[in-house]
Structure 1
Amino acid sequence: VLSEDPHVIVGDTSVKILLADTPQKRTQGLSGRESLAKDEGMLFVFPEEGIYGFWMKDMRFSIDILWLNSAGEVVHIVENASPESYPASFTPEKAAQYVLELPAGFVRAHGVTLGSLVEL
């Protein structure tokens, strides 16, 4: 994750990531951005596992959201979260240390399920 070319592996797909590893970057997220490429995502890194809710404030496109525990295991999935869902928030039932936002449709296209591993 901390390489000069940050990426994660989801199934057999390499995803270029934008890192949100500070409070300011986590607050900004993808808000205001126009889109994500099909092989691009944003990885939110938290200091420890916890229950982290996400909303679609100031988003301009739909996304899939994966919550990952410290081992990179998918513990919660939201597909096609749309900007129109704001101010509702999406909150996992299990603790996560990472949250990966991906283009809408990624989860279905790549067969991501609960328990899938993401190589960080």
Structure 2
Amino acid sequence: MNRHTPVFSLKALVPVLGLLFSGCLAALPDNDALPAVQACLINDQKAIPITVEIATSSEERSHGLMEREALAENAGMLFVYSNQRRADHGFWMYRTLIPLDIAYMNRHGNIRAIRQMAPCPSDQGRDCPTYRAGVPFYLALEMNQGYFESRGIGVGDRLSMEPADCR
């Protein structure tokens, strides 16, 4: 597989985004999952199927995976931004209970950086570190810590939501 061919398409998110923006989904309690879609991470050798919850609104992105006690092995949360985030933008782990990896991606789903993030034990958000991307990005994918490395996924690999890519 060609790891540099951009195949991530925001068109694949249209059905999910349509539901979110139409007001059909009520505000979710803290521990409820967001709508999830099937996707895959692709390197030179294989496509690895994953399930991702999609966080598109600022409220969904701000809450992220806070207060979750576990995340399924092949599950994650995809943070989608309509405008490119600067390299100094990042994520924090305030009220997040599980260690995570985060992959920062361009608009095509190409991974540009991966960071490891540890839960912040403080009850004060100001005491929690920010894990800066170090690269401009449109998408960020959080998975259980060690997920990317254990499956051979790294910088230059990509995320796809196209069913044909994920077979």
TM-score, structure 1 normalization: 0.90
What is the CA deviation profile of residues 48-73 of structure 1, one whole-angstrom value per residue up to 9, with x for unaligned ones?
21123100010111011000100111
* 2:110 is the alignment partner of 1:40: no
AA partner of residue 73 (structure 2): K
Secondary structure at the aligned position of 1:76 is classed as strand
Q: For residues 83 and 38 of structure 2, what CA distance do their matches in structure 1 show?
A: 20
* 2:147 is the alignment partner of 1:106: yes
Corresponding pairs, count? 119
AA partner of residue 144 (structure 2): P
- Computing the radius of gyration from Cα coordinates, the structure with the larger value is 2
Write 1 or 2 for the structure with the bigger share of strand: 1
Secondary structure at the aligned position of 1:93 is classed as coil
* Residue in 1 that maps onto 2:101: 64
Are the aligned partners of 2:105 and 2:113 in contact in 1 as well (CA < 8 Å)?
yes
* Residue in 2 that maps onto 1:10: 41
Gapped regions of structure 1 (runs ≥ 5) = none
Gapped regions of structure 2 (runs ≥ 5) = 1-11, 17-35, 122-126, 162-167
AA partner of residue 91 (structure 2): F
RMSD: 1.7
Instruction: Return 81-90 or 94-103, whichever deviates more.
Output: 81-90
* Residue in 1 that maps onto 2:19: none
Q: 1:93 aligns with which of 134, 149, 164?
A: 134
TM-score, structure 2 normalization: 0.66
After TM superposition, which residue ranges in structure 1, 4 or more long, deviate above 2 angstroms? 1-5
